[in-house]
Structure 1
């Protein structure tokens, strides 16, 4: 089954891939890997802003992380790589967190669970989930990815 067919089966519609907000490219391919720059959470075209433990609930944080994952998939599709993914190798989740918020791993599950839904066993990955005091544009979450891809 293709990834596009799997997305349709799951009733997942990918957003339009976001343009970079600074001097970088969304995806770099090198040595059999695709490196996807940090993606921000857009839900219905609006950036999810705020800080976990302050004005964003854990449920909304998880949904924001899922939105980051959808944007990662959208960037891969735009780069013509979505069907070439062999394995999700590593995700880096950055969570805009109040000083006493320690639930970053649960927030990052929003992206992690999506990758397993879409890629099955190949979606299981290594991961970092880090609390940070601020993210670009005030985003609640940012996630980057490293994926092994077929080079043929």
Structure 2
């Protein structure tokens, strides 16, 4: 039996959480043809933010990287709700990362690798994607990281 995204998640010790419900007037995901766009997800772990604050200040680089990883876990939970089976994902098209940070912070790419590396771990070559990573002054609920995604599905 070949590996599936779900079996890879299991081998990494990751169980997808119940997807977060929107707290404002937007959809958690939309589908247009074979593309699914997932709204930005925060680094929720067991229903609570993994950390709060800004990179370059109260949040350490390692914590920011872990936060980006949890954002992707939450993206995958939304994606599984959208398609039912992550094996339907044919490509991670794009990830967009927002890093709450001080003006002097410049390690945005390292933080975002927490999400990007996990995408490749779960989907293999189909997990390699385009991305943008942007430093911002603040994020909802004082989260240090938010990640959005676009996925191609069969």
Q: Say whether the fold is shared (TM-score over 0.5).
A: yes
Does 1:110 pair with 2:117?
no
Once residues 116 and 75 of structure 1 are traced to their aligned partners in structure 2, the CA distance between those partners, rounded to angstroms, is: 18
Residue ranges of structure 1 left out of the alignment (5+ in a row) = none
* Alignment correspondent of 1:121: 125
Secondary structure of the residue aligned to 2:65 is helix
Does the 8 Å CA contact 1:61/1:141 hold for their aligned counterparts? yes
Does the 8 Å CA contact 1:92/1:145 hold for their aligned counterparts? yes
Per-residue deviation, 1:81: 5.1
* Alignment correspondent of 2:92: 88
2:54 corresponds, among 51, 58, 69, to 51
Per-residue deviation, 1:10: 2.2
Per-residue deviation, 1:104: 0.6
So what's the TM-score if we normalise by structure 2? 0.93
* Alignment correspondent of 2:140: 136
* Alignment correspondent of 2:28: 26
So what's the TM-score if we normalise by structure 1? 0.94
Once residues 15 and 70 of structure 1 are traced to their aligned partners in structure 2, the CA distance between those partners, rounded to angstroms, is: 8
Secondary structure of the residue aligned to 1:24 is coil
2:72 corresponds, among 51, 69, 72, to 69
What is the number of residues matched between the two proteins? 150
Per-residue deviation, 1:83: 2.5
Secondary structure of the residue aligned to 1:101 is coil
Runs of 4+ displaced beyond 6 Å = none
